[in-house]
């Protein structure tokens, strides 16, 4: 007799199935290989610096913490006695809430610092700030305008530095995106992701990560809004090395054709407000609609890192069953927790390795 499962129960079982969430005493050889990956003491400025196995390990730990804490209701004080300095030059909802609540949930103490609290590089140099914070806390997450600020902090600090967003990369967003896709599709290898929008920091992080997970990437940007040339050159090498495909075009429908996942982001980032009128004109035709999805694969889904504006994606897509934006937002918490635990401890996941 077939079971009638509620949508919530069915979704939970799908998540558990994709992560094989049954603790086991022994792991297979592939799992043993990932188990031996050590990230303690590392910084995370860009996923360009992480290997395929290291990224998979981060996703594994993140999925494990989500299972243990959210579904099994366990308390895991893995960061008890530790503190994090959260430096925010730019405002944020998801980055602040996920980091602050996640660090506290793991038993640690988060300390939030805005430009009103800490004048990074103004009243005190980034060099001195990095050395001071190294003696006061265990890890720093910095959300900054310039990526060079992160590089200076990392050079001078003796503790891990996490990029909470910079003008060049947004690695913690991409970890959440790939955890969301892994949960939804059951595996990542062979998926095609289509980016339709601005050649920005989120796209750069996709370009540094997708190939390492066996994911193809198709990118459509208006002329003049292409991704950074150096990032593109590095990405082309990565995709060739991993045997995956990178397509660059200015035609949104060409990018969407045959894709599993449609992704966009804001067209006007913080600091670009004066360019808004021109940008809205230049991005005409780039809104993601059901028509865009009509040329994608039958199982297509939609991602957006938020906050979202109507011109980027219409309500019909954004609030549809194809939209994964709210699970994606929640996974910002589990992936930043997985990253912090990996950089600060020797924690080994308790669930079996998911299929990548």
pLDDT band at 118 (very low <50, low <70, confident <90, very high): confident
pTM equals 0.91
Domain range for residue 187? Answer: 173-269+278-330
pLDDT band at 228 (very low <50, low <70, confident <90, very high): very high
Look at 1-15, 25-39, 57-71, 209-223 and tell me which has the smallest mean pLDDT.
1-15
Mean pLDDT of the 166-179 span:
98
pLDDT surpassing 80 at residue 2? no
pLDDT band at 311 (very low <50, low <70, confident <90, very high): very high
Measured between alpha carbons, how far apart are the two ends of the chain, in Å? 33
Mean pLDDT of the 329-340 span:
98
pLDDT band at 17 (very low <50, low <70, confident <90, very high): very low
In a domain, 17, yes or no: no
Same domain, 127 and 209: no
pLDDT band at 272 (very low <50, low <70, confident <90, very high): low
Torsion angle in degrees (nearest 10) through CA of 267, 273, 276, 282: -50
In a domain, 42, yes or no: no
Same domain, 179 and 310: yes
pLDDT at 284: 96
pLDDT band at 205 (very low <50, low <70, confident <90, very high): very high
In a domain, 255, yes or no: yes
Tell me which of 21, 44, 137, 305 is the catalytic residue.
Answer: 305
Mean pLDDT of the 154-177 span:
98
pLDDT at 301: 98
In a domain, 90, yes or no: yes
In a domain, 8, yes or no: no
pLDDT surpassing 50 at residue 25? no
Same domain, 177 and 326: yes
The CA distances from residue 196 to 16, 200, 278, in Å, are: 31, 11, 18
pLDDT surpassing 50 at residue 173? yes
Query: Rounded to whole angstroms, how far apart are CA atoms 127 and 148?
Result: 12
CB atoms within 10 A of CB 219: 24
Query: Helices in 169-228 by DSSP H: which ranges?
Result: 171-185, 201-209
pLDDT band at 21 (very low <50, low <70, confident <90, very high): very low
Query: Rounded to whole angstroms, how far apart are CA atoms 5 and 11?
Result: 9
Distance of CA 177 to the CA centre of its chain: 5
pLDDT surpassing 80 at residue 324? yes
Same domain, 313 and 197: yes
In a domain, 4, yes or no: no
Task: Answer yes or no: 305 catalytic.
Answer: yes
pLDDT at 270: 65
Same domain, 322 and 337: no
CATH number at residue 153: 3.40.50.1370
Same domain, 322 and 179: yes
pLDDT surpassing 50 at residue 323? yes
In a domain, 299, yes or no: yes
pLDDT at 236: 98
Query: Rounded to whole angstroms, how far apart are CA atoms 266 and 269?
Result: 6
Nearest to 258 by CA among 317, 302, 299, 204: 299
In a domain, 15, yes or no: no
Give the DSSP H/E element, type plus range, for residue 262. Answer: strand 261-264
Same domain, 188 and 321: yes
Same domain, 138 and 180: no
Percent of the chain with pLDDT over 90: 82
pLDDT at 29: 66
Q: How many domains does the chain have?
A: 2
pLDDT at 119: 72
């Amino acid at each position: 007799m077939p079971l009638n499962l509620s949508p919530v129960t069915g979704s939970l079982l799908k998540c558990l199935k994709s992560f094989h969430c049954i603790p086991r005493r022994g792991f297979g050889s592939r799992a043993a290989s990932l188990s031996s990956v050590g990230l303690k003491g590392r910084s995370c400025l860009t996923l360009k610096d992480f290997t395929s196995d290291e990224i998979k390990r981060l996703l594994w730990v993140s999925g494990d913490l989500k299972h243990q804490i959210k579904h099994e209701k366990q308390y895991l004080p893995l960061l008890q006695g530790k503190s994090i300095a959260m430096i925010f030059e730019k405002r944020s909802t998801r980055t602040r809430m996920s980091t602050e609540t996640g660090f506290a949930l793991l038993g640690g103490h988060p300390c939030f610092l805005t430009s009103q609290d800490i004048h990074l590089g103004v009243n005190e140099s980034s060099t001195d700030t990095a050395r001071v914070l190294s003696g006061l806390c265990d890890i720093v997450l910095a959300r900054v305008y310039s990526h060079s600020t992160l590089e200076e902090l990392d050079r001078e600090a003796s503790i891990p530095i996490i990029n909470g967003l910079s003008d060049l990369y947004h690695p913690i967003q991409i970890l959440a995106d790939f955890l969301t896709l892994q949960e939804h599709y059951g595996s990542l290898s062979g998926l095609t992701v289509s980016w339709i929008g601005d050649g920005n920091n989120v796209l750069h992080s996709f370009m540094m990560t997708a190939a390492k997970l066996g994911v193809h990437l198709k990118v459509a940007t208006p002329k003049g809004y292409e991704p950074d040339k150096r990032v593109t050159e590095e990405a082309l090498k990565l995709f060739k090395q991993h045997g995956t495909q990178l397509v660059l075009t200015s035609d949104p429908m060409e990018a969407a054709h045959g894709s599993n996942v449609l992704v966009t982001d804001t067209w006007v980032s913080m600091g670009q407000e004066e360019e808004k009128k021109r940008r809205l004109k230049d991005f005409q035709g780039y809104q993601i609609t059901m028509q865009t999805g009509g040329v994608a694969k039958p199982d297509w889904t939609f991602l957006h890192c938020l906050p979202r504006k109507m011109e980027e994606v219409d309500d019909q897509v954004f609030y549809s069953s194809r939209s994964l934006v709210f699970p994606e937002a929640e996974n910002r918490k589990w992936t930043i927790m997985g990253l912090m635990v990996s950089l600060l401890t020797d924690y080994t996941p308790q669930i079996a390795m998911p299929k990548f």
